[in-house]
Every structure is written in C-alpha cells, then in structure tokens.
Chain A
Amino acid sequence: MQLNRDELLGAYRRMKTIREFEERLHEEIKTGEIGGFTHLYAGQEAVAVGICDQLTVDDKIVSTHRGHGHCIAKGCDVKGMMKEIYGRAGGLCKGRAGSMHIADLDVGMLGANGIVGGGAPQAVGAAIAARIDGKGRVGVTFSGDGACNQGTTFEAMNLAVVTKVPAIFVFENNHYSEHTGDAYAVGTSKDIASRAEGFGMKAWRANGCDFFETYAAFTELLEYVRAGNGPAAIELDTERYYGHFEGDPQRYRGKGELDRIRAERDCLRAFRARVTGAALLTDEDLDAVDAEVLALIEEAVAEARADEQPDPATVADDVYVEYY
C-alpha cells in the first residue's frame, strides 16, 4: 500500500474530524440542547476511514445505529450533520432524521439505521443495482457485533452469495451489542468472519484500531469484489470509547478497561506514531490538521445552535413524492 502525503493527510483529517465531532457531541449533549438518542463512534475511526477512503461517491454504504463516523468518512457535510443532530431546518435531513437515521444519498450514504440489522439487505439491493449498471460499483453494509446476530444479516449474506452480487459485509466488532459483550452474545467462538465464510464468502480479518492494517485488508477485498468475484466480508476488531448511547454509564465495562483501550488501542495515536516514525508526515503537519478540525467543529456547533428550527407547518411534508 502506497499512500501519498495528501492521501495520508486526508485520512488523518477525516479520522480526526470523526473523533472531534464525537468528543464535542459528548460534551454538548450534557447541555440538554440535543434531544433523543445519540450513539457515538469515537474509537472506531480507522474502520470508517480505512474503508470509505477507498470508495467512490457512486459506491453505496448503509450504516448502523452508530452512523456519524460512516457519514463523515463517506463525505457528508459535517455542518449539515451537526444541524441534523441539533434538529435544525438546515440539517442534512431537515431535522427529520436526527442522529439515528442520518443519510445523504448524494454521497452514496443510504442512511444510519434505527433498527439493528436493518441495513444489510439494503446493501445487497444496492449491489444488485451496481451489478446491473456494470460500472464496478459496490454496496457496503456496516454491521456491529449486535447486528451480526440478526436474521436479516444472515438472509442478506445468503442472498448476496446466491446472486453473486458485489455486496460487502463490514463487521465492526467493538465487543458490545448495547451493553452485552460479544463473549456472551456472539456464538461461533466470537468469530464473526467465520459466519460469512459459512455462507461461502471470502472473509478478511484485521485490527480495526490500525488504519493501515484495515486499509490494506480492504484494498485486497475491494479488488476481489470489483473483479466480479461476488460478495465478501471483513471483520474488524475495534473499540468503542463511549457507551451504547450517550448517558450510558458503562457499568458493564471491566475495571480499567476504558483506560487501557484508550492507552493501547487508540487509532489516531497509532496513526500519528506510524506516519511520523516513518517520516511520512511531521507532528507539525498533523497538529495543523488538528487545529483546522477543531475550528470546523467549533463552527459547526455554533452554526447548528444558530440555525432555525423546522417549521411545524411542514410536519407532514415529503411523506410521498406524489399523493392525491
């Protein structure tokens, strides 16, 4: 894998943007200005960026409950996202989606999903469409270790294998489905990739806290799928810094678990060490990105707060394209 300086900076910028977006939301939610459920992605940035950096806007992704990272990685407008989460008129979905259902079809992001396991069959549909179009595009579903236990995911994997469409199943195992550990809830010895293999798919496994390992594994996978070999899967071992939802005190975590994860498995720190160690980028380069990202998030929050609320008169608009 050879990433040039701009590509490395871009990947770091997107990972950092996700991290700061989430860290800031974690603080802002305490003010009570943001309603509903918010599920933060911080900790898993290397997965979203390692994968979406290799997709085009015409490749489709379907996301999870924890969708902000996938949105940012796929190129959604960060300010539009922040407004959406604040429930503002200028939000990506006009304040209809909130955090859990956020989508931006223009960049091939077919939606976070309020239903665990809801997205996988839709990625197969996107892959069916992609194959008909014949332009080498793919349909990607992100699923957590929770969604891997849903029947929809199994049905989707089987349908993808049967129809040999370019569907990609990305399993982000952050070891918790809501508050229950994968050691308990995932059968097959905690190994999700073997389930995909059980359906006859080629599956990759990688350390999802390592951007470069994730990226390299996905490069192979994508090449395999784009070559017309049918669907494939990848399981990424990753970590979730925050609770299932914001406000979750994470009492189910082991003593010192979060401190250890943050110290030993932080994908941003690992990225920095790797690129500065190999003299590909300097700390100054990365610090400059950090400053730029912080300013963007600051602006996004300020603009979201200042944006107007949706007009209640529009409450039943856009249910149908046409209705009479």
Chain B
Amino acid sequence: MAIMNIREAIVSTLNAEMERDSDIILLGEDVVGGNGTAGGPEAIGGIWGTSPGLWKKFGPERVIDTPISESAIIGAAAGAALSGKRPVAELMFADFVGVSLDQIWNQMAKFRYMFGGKTKCPAVVRLVYGAGMQTAAQHSQSVYAMLTAMPGLKVVLPTTPADAKGLLTEALRGDDPVMFFEHKTLYGVKGEVPEGDHRQRFGEARVVREGGDVTVVACGRMVNFSEKAADAVAKDGVGIDLLDLRTTSPLDEDAILESVEQTGRLVVVDESPPRCSLAADIAAMVTERAFTSLKAPPAMVTAPHSPIPFARNLERAWVPSPQKIEEAVRRVLAFR
C-alpha cells in the first residue's frame, strides 16, 4: 500500500487508466492550463492539480484544454462517448452544472434509455464541490442530490484516497455516465491506497465504524465530520454505526436498512439544503421500509435552506458541523 492524498490518487488513477485504455480522453478548462500564454502549455496542469503531466504524456489529442464553455465541454464529452471514446470532462466547480445542465440531464443521462438501450454513454464528469473554502454561493454547492435525482446518471463521492482510486477506476471502466464528485477540502486527505488494479463497486456503502446505538449515514466531507461526532459521543459510551455512502446512485439501501433495523435510530447528514435533498430521500426511504424498527423519528442534519455565505463565521454556521451531528445523535437517543 502506498500513502497518498486524494489529489495524488486521482492523478495516478487517471494516468494509469489512460495508459491502459487509449479511448480515455480528458477535457476541461485548464486541465492542461497555460495554452496560448507565454508560459506555454502545462504552466498550470489543472486548476486543482489533478492533471499535471498528463498532457506531456498523452498529448493534445487526448488531453484537451477547452475554452470556458461548460455546455460545449459536456456536450463534446457526450458526443465523444457516443462515438466510441471514454471522455473524462472536468467541471472546475460543480456549481457550473447549471451552465451545462442540458447536456448532462437531457442528453447524456437519457441517451441509453431514449435510444431503446441500443447505445451506451461511458462519460465521466468530474465535479469539484463543497463548502469550506469561503468560495461562497456560486462556487461551494453540493449539487449531488440534484444529479442523484436524474435517472441515467451514476453519482459518486469518494472520501478516502483508496476510494478515490477504486471508484474512479470503476467509473472509467463502466459504460454509464458517472458524476464523480471531488470535495475541494478533501484533496489533501491522506491514506493508504491499494497498489495495482483496485476497483470499488458502486452501490456498496463503506462501514466506517460499527457501534450499534445510532445509525449515521453520510457522504463526502460529512463522513469526516460524523467521525468527530462519533468520537464525541463515544466518550459517553454511545456507539455509532457510521456509513459512508460512496455512491448516491446507486444507493446502498440494504446497508442503511440493515443498520437501522439493528439500531432503530437514524441520523442522515447531508451538505446541502434540506428540501428535496439526499437526507430527505433517505429519511423517507427508511420511514417507509423500516418503520417498525424505528425507536425515534429519523433526524436530518443539513445546511439551512439558503445559499452559501462568504464570511468565514457565516459559512461555518451554514455547513453541518460535528456539533450539530452530535446534537442530532443525542436527540434521537433521547426520544422516547
């Protein structure tokens, strides 16, 4: 096992997979970075540092700097996928799905179904998401729930370097469009990464810890916050079953239900506003399918129903915190 951070895991996975499969191409704004400037190509190597060296190695036909044109980027990925390639399109900020949503939602998500199952669309869209860097309302959103709601897309959110490798490899080898969410505050998170071929199947939640008293379901950065909450309540002898969803489409319903059937208590943590959210969806699913196991109403820990503010203290107030998760855990425990 090698120790690397999520950023390094992504670069090395792209590198290895592009080497393995010449159909994989990468396109996006500044994925090379510096084209047409005095510094020349690769002056940047990707705004998030997730594509350095790839242009030098695979050349401009496979690593394509695009103008700032999100519809064109995603649309070109869709067309290339229909034409036998495996494009990876990078959206520098997940918020920009708004600009390119038609190509994601009406086009690539629907091709297979609409064309009678006669085609596939093996495109991966990498979206950098999440609050925590004071990037405010248009550069911080967690739009995974919105895309999870769209049939035809698979939605993936790695929280460890090992999963970043395993899930990206799976995405690149599958034949469906995958929305691959990278939390901007998690790029530096380090961990062990299996060497060689490592694929993480979609739809299998990661059991982060088993405790038996309360089920906490989370994804992305909220998994790490939930761990802090679990540490805090552990001091009082409360054991948490913590599930990292890894993918929200497909959703590992069985793992959630199985755990809730044991604990009878559910807290869902979701870094987005509450209405029509992932938290609401999971709470409803559990209420419908495990009602008799429940000892307390499911609790949702979400952001408020507001855009994301800039000021540091306001942003901290907006993001679901370990404290709020801890409070929710104690609330469902106290319910009688």
Contact = CB atoms under 8 A, between A and B. Distances in A.
Q: When A and B form their complex, which 5 residue pairs have the shortest distance between CB atoms, in order from nearest?
A: A121-B75, A125-B79, A318-B117, A122-B79, A94-B116
Contacts of B201: 324
A320 interface: yes
A59 to B, nearest CB: 10
Given A118-B102, A129-B85, A152-B72, 14 more contacts: A96-B114, A96-B115, A110-B79, A113-B107, A122-B78, A122-B82, A126-B82, A152-B103, A155-B69, A156-B76, A159-B66, A320-B152, A323-B203, A324-B203
Contacts, number: 164
A91 B118 CA distance: 12
B250 A324 contact: yes
A159 B67 contact: yes
B187 interface: no
A155 B69 CA distance: 6
Given A155-B69, A158-B69, A159-B66, A121 B79 contact: yes
A95 B151 CA distance: 18
A103 B203 CA distance: 31
A147 to B, nearest CB: 12
A124 B72 contact: yes
B75 A122 contact: yes
Contact of A115 (B106, B120, B174, B175): B106
Nearest to B77: A125
Interface string A133-151: 1000001000000000001
A111 interface: yes
A122 B120 contact: no
A186 B201 CA distance: 50
Contact of B71 (A128, A129, A130, A155): A155
Interface of B: 25, 27, 61-62, 64, 66-67, 69, 71-85, 87, 102-103, 106-107, 110-120, 151-152, 154, 174-176, 201-203, 250
B225 to A, nearest CB: 28
Contacts of A113: 107
B80 A321 contact: no
A318 B121 CA distance: 12
A101 B118 contact: no
Nearest to A134: B61
B67 A111 contact: no
B117 A322 contact: no
25 contacts: A91-B116, A92-B116, A101-B110, A104-B118, A106-B118, A110-B82, A110-B83, A111-B111, A118-B107, A121-B71, A121-B72, A121-B78, A125-B82, A126-B83, A132-B61, A132-B62, A133-B84, A156-B72, A156-B76, A162-B67, A318-B116, A320-B176, A321-B175, A323-B176, A324-B250
B117 A94 contact: yes
B161 to A, nearest CB: 24
Nearest to A131: B61
A139 B82 CA distance: 11
A105 interface: yes
A304 interface: no
Contacts of A133: 84
Contacts of B82: 60, 105, 110, 122, 125-126
Contacts of B85: 125, 128-129, 132
A111 B116 CA distance: 12
B114 A60 contact: no
Contacts of B106: 114-115, 118
A301 to B, nearest CB: 20
A125 B87 contact: yes
A97 interface: yes
A273 B247 CA distance: 63
Interface in A295-309: none
